[in-house]
Amino acid sequence: MLGATRKDGIKDFENAVDYSQQGIAEYFLADEYQHSDDEKKRELAGKYYDPKNLEKVWNYYDIDRLLKNDNSLREKIYVLIKDYALIEANKRLEESNQELQKAKNELEEMMSMFAHKFRSPLDAIIYNTTHGNQQALYTEAAQIMRGLLDVFSAISTDPEMLRNRIRQDKQGKGRVSTLFIKTLDMMMLHLLSVSGAEKIQQHYMAYAKCHGLCDPELSYETWCEDCLELEEELQSKWEKSYAELLNQSAELGPRLVWLEQRFFELDIFGFDNEAIQFRANGVTESFLMILLNEIMVNAFKYYSSATKKPVVLEWAERDGFQVLICRNPSTRTERDTIKGSGKGHAFLSALAHKTGSRFIKPLPEDDFVTEFEIPNEFLLVK
């Protein structure tokens, strides 16, 4: 029982009528029990928050008898019930609107990231065609764009179809080792372009200080204000230098040396995994490229280490998942610098949700660790 006398019940009910916005159950049950030391009473109060239990309250307090004895309550009661029903209807409408808004936001973020991910292969096509490089380089970039288009189309319209296609794509010449080189090349041609220079300004400044091209005590603000010509010169040289590596069909080793001389040491582990196979430019490679590109671009954008700590990129297996891990030395000052939409983590969370994966959001520490987990069933042959 509720622990209230009939007299108390009548008084509480009359008060509830006068305080109709909170409803009958929410008023005299929650008010009586929610601060109780008795856990069972608190649980009971929680049950009566649900409007489906309003009838139980009505019967217990014998509302029909109250109506017969005091006709003045009749109109108030009906207004109360009507208001309560309206409140519940509004709650359901608000929940529906929130779901629609969430879906709208997800779609907008996907379209934003779609445009963002297209820039890397597009910059590669523009650079290679402008400088007359090997046709195979920009042909490959066009194939990458087509694969990205397929993945984003599936994510936006039918995520379950995308998951099934990834499960079925387990044979081919594609490997995570070649995927890494391909992603690195597309990403670097974007970051080293004129449009990408702003995202890696700290690296141009660090290089200039290290090689005596500017005052070693120069501030970041002064660099942005007074060293535009020097930055443009470095951007042009680096872009041309990396493109020469592509024309020479360089292996990963020279690429890593090139990166260490200008950016940071990049330590790579686990990308020699031969158990994962997929079609070149197929759905799995495109999905993994989107993921790897996002994580690596963020590492370049927000790297900061006075002691030149390496960035560690690892492919591992853990608890039934294939895990991509990136450990990126950074600082809060660097991470607070606006270098894009700021929606990278939201995109990775949405990508994980759409593909049945898991994204572990990094803690805001100087050793910035990003992890993305993909179920083994998606990538490994049983």
**pLDDT tens-digit readout, 50-77:** 545 555 556 655 666 655 666 665 565 5
- Give dist(CA 371, CA 77) in Å, integer: 56
Q: Are 286 and 143 in contact (CB under 8 A)?
A: no
* Mean pLDDT for the stretch of residues 184-198: 86
| DSSP assignment string, 48-73 | TTSGGGHHHHHHHTTHHHHHHH-THH
Please tell me whether residue 330 adopts helix, strand or coil conformation: coil
- Give dist(CA 324, CA 349) in Å, integer: 14
For residue 28, the Cα-to-chain-centroid distance in whole angstroms is: 44
What pLDDT does residue 50 have?
A: 53
Which among 326, 323, 337 has a CA at the least distance from the CA of 373? 323
CA distances for 203 relative to 38, 135, 198, 223, 264, angstroms: 61, 30, 10, 11, 9
What pLDDT does residue 261 have?
A: 95
Amino acid at 214: C
Contacts of 337 (CB under 8 A, 6+ apart): 302
What pLDDT does residue 34 have?
A: 55
* Mean pLDDT for the stretch of residues 245-249: 78
Q: How many CB atoms lie within 10 A of CB 322?
A: 23
Report whether pLDDT(19) > 80.
Answer: no
pLDDT single digits (tens) 275-333: 899 988 888 888 898 889 889 988 999 999 988 999 999 999 999 999 999 999 988 77
Domain boundaries, the chain: 6-98, 106-299
pLDDT single digits (tens) 335-371: 777 666 556 777 788 788 888 899 988 777 778 899 9
SS (H, E, C) 348-373: HHHHHHHHCCEEECCCCCCEEEEEEE
Please tell me whether residue 266 adopts helix, strand or coil conformation: strand
pLDDT single digits (tens) 102-127: 767 766 666 666 656 666 666 666 66
E strands along 187-310, which residues? 266-269
Q: Are strands 266-269 and 311-318 parallel, antiparallel or unpaired?
A: parallel
- Give dist(CA 132, CA 126) in Å, integer: 10
This prediction's pTM: 0.66
What pLDDT does residue 244 have?
A: 84
- Give dist(CA 85, CA 73) in Å, integer: 18
pLDDT band for 6, please (50, 70, 90 cuts). very low
Percent of the chain scoring above 70 in pLDDT: 60
Amino acid at 70: D
